[in-house]
Amino acid sequence: MENNKGVLVLFSGPSGVGKDTVLEIVLAKDKSLQKSVSLTTRGIRENEIDGKDYYFISLPEFEKMIDNNEVLEFARYGQNLYGTPKAPVDKWLSEGKTVILKIEVQGANNIKKLYPESVGIFIMPPSMEELEQRLRSRGTEDESDIQKRLEIAQDEIGHSKDYDYLVVNDDLEKASENVLDILHKLYK
Ligand code: 5GP
């Protein structure tokens, strides 16, 4: 682990902030970046692809991977488990790649302990009102899930000070450019 040459980037932000879209733009603009595909026990959304957005697996499968030490970190978010597969991340880092983990704050904390050199970027909403509106308008969660996600969001924003960089997503293009600038400073 100590011999890693690549940079590990922790990319966090509350649900609905638009971090997936920001990340999509960033990855399209810089093909050298490597995004880790997480494991999750949550159900697949209509627009998602298994193996691209997540590896959608069952709880027993997830638990088996934890037992086999195949998961770098994992966290419970709402009713589900989310985690980072270990082998690909180790491989990419040893190849000197910049590896991006889309991760909630608890997982990011755990990774910081394992990889103190990792760099955290937190995507902030312009306001809580705007966040709630975005979360509702995407229409992928029911009311109780939305309430739970807003509650988690408050807590996550409280942890944003632990990150190296904060980027406010009030404009997708601007936020993506900011993230790219940060990443380029890290490895150029
Ligand atoms: P969603 O259900 O909206 O796709 O994701 C819920 C939360 O799980 C988001 O904050 C997302 O960043 C986080 N998440 C996604 N993948 C991972 C992972 O591998 N590990 C951890 N700890 N959190 C993750």
* pLDDT score of 72 more than 70: yes
Mean pLDDT calculated for residue range 114-125: 96
How does pLDDT run across 12-46, given as a tens digit for each residue? 999 999 999 999 999 999 999 999 999 999 999 98
Residue 59 identity (one-letter amino acid) = L
Mutate to test the pocket of ligand 1, among 77, 145, 154 (most ligand atoms within 8 A of CB): 77
Tell me, what's the pLDDT at 4? 55
Q: What is the mean pLDDT of residues 117-121?
A: 96
Whether this prediction's pTM lies above 0.85 is answered by yes
Q: Are strands 98-102 and 33-35 parallel, antiparallel or unpaired?
A: parallel
Q: Are 37 and 89 in contact (CB under 8 A)?
A: no
Ligand 1 atom closest to Cα of residue 38: 19
Least-confidence region, from 16-25, 101-110, 133-142, 159-168: 133-142
| Pocket, ligand 1, Cβ cutoff 6 A | 15, 38, 42, 73, 75, 77, 82-84, 102-104, 107
Closest by alpha carbon to 71, among 90, 85, 51, 56?
A: 85
Q: What integer is the mean pLDDT of 166-176?
A: 97
Q: What is the rounded average pLDDT for all residues in the chain?
A: 94
pLDDT attached to residue 109? 95
pLDDT at residue 1 tops 50: no
Q: What is the pLDDT of residue 139?
A: 84
Q: How far apart are CA 122 and CA 120, in angstroms?
A: 7
Q: Give the strand order in the sheet containing 33-35.
A: 33-35, 98-102, 7-12, 119-124, 165-168
Angle between helices 143-158 and 128-138 (to 10 degrees): 140
Residue with CA at minimum distance from ligand 1 atom 17: 103
Compute CA distances 149 → 5, 63, 131, whole Å.
Answer: 35, 24, 10
